[in-house]
């Protein structure tokens, strides 16, 4: 029997960035070079930050709180063709969860100072994980339809196409 219950998650903090609106946000952290932000971790989770400061990069898992609806076919940022949602990184999803690998600059009490952030200000934080290349990097990777379009990534920004759907 397949478990189809609804699950509840609650934020452990909030992400603060210079991006006050969706339009103009870099579409991936890898091209958000030096964009600075802070992650405010709620007091009841601060003990969980112990030993995080020795990592250079972390994975932020967050909730796309501005997304209202989704479609299973989307025009992703780097393409003009309709693609299956699950073959894209589009933020408009059945469970609008995002992840970004960011540089961790400093941990001070309940505040994480980060760089290379591609997240809109006020985004709810769901989890933090250390980035570990031996766990996260893969060899011989295929990137499907993006192969011919990945060169567009550095100049691509969010244009708001997934908000208010």
Instruction: Determine the Cα–Cα distance for residues 29 and 89; give it in Å rounded to an integer.
Output: 12
Residue, of 94 and 22, whose pLDDT is higher: 94
Instruction: Read off φ and ψ for residue 97, nearest 5 degrees.
Output: -110, 130
Q: What is the pLDDT of residue 151?
A: 82
pLDDT tens digit sequence for 19-76: 998 887 877 777 778 899 999 999 999 999 999 999 999 999 999 999 989 999 999 8
> Burial letters for 133-152: b for 16+ Cβ neighbours within 10 Å, e otherwise?
eeeeeeeeeeeeebeebeee
Q: What is the pLDDT of residue 150?
A: 76
Answer yes or no: is pLDDT of 147 > 80. yes
- pTM confidence score: 0.89
| Architecture in CATH for domain 27-133 | Beta Barrel (2.40)
Give whole-number Cα distances, 67 to 71, 127, 155, in Å: 11, 19, 23
Q: What is the pLDDT of residue 165?
A: 45
Residue, of 72 and 157, whose pLDDT is higher: 72
Answer yes or no: is pLDDT of 122 > 90. yes
């Amino acid at each position: 029997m397949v478990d189809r219950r609804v699950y509840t998650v609650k934020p452990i903090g909030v992400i603060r960035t210079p991006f006050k609106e969706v339009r103009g946000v870099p579409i991936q952290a890898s091209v958000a070079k030096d964009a600075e932000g802070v992650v405010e971790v709620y007091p009841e989770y601060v003990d969980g930050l112990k030993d995080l400061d020795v990592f250079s990069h972390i994975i932020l898992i967050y909730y796309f709180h501005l997304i209202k609806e989704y479609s299973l076919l989307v025009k992703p940022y780097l393409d003009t063709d309709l693609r299956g949602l699950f073959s894209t990184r589009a933020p408009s999803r059945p469970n609008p969860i995002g992840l970004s690998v960011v540089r961790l600059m400093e941990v001070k009490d309940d505040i994480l100072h980060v760089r290379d952030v591609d997240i809109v200000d006020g985004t709810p934080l769901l989890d933090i994980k250390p980035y570990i290349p031996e766990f996260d990097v893969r060899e011989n990777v295929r990137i499907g339809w993006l192969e011919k379009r990945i060169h567009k990534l550095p100049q691509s920004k969010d244009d708001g196409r997934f908000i208010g759907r």
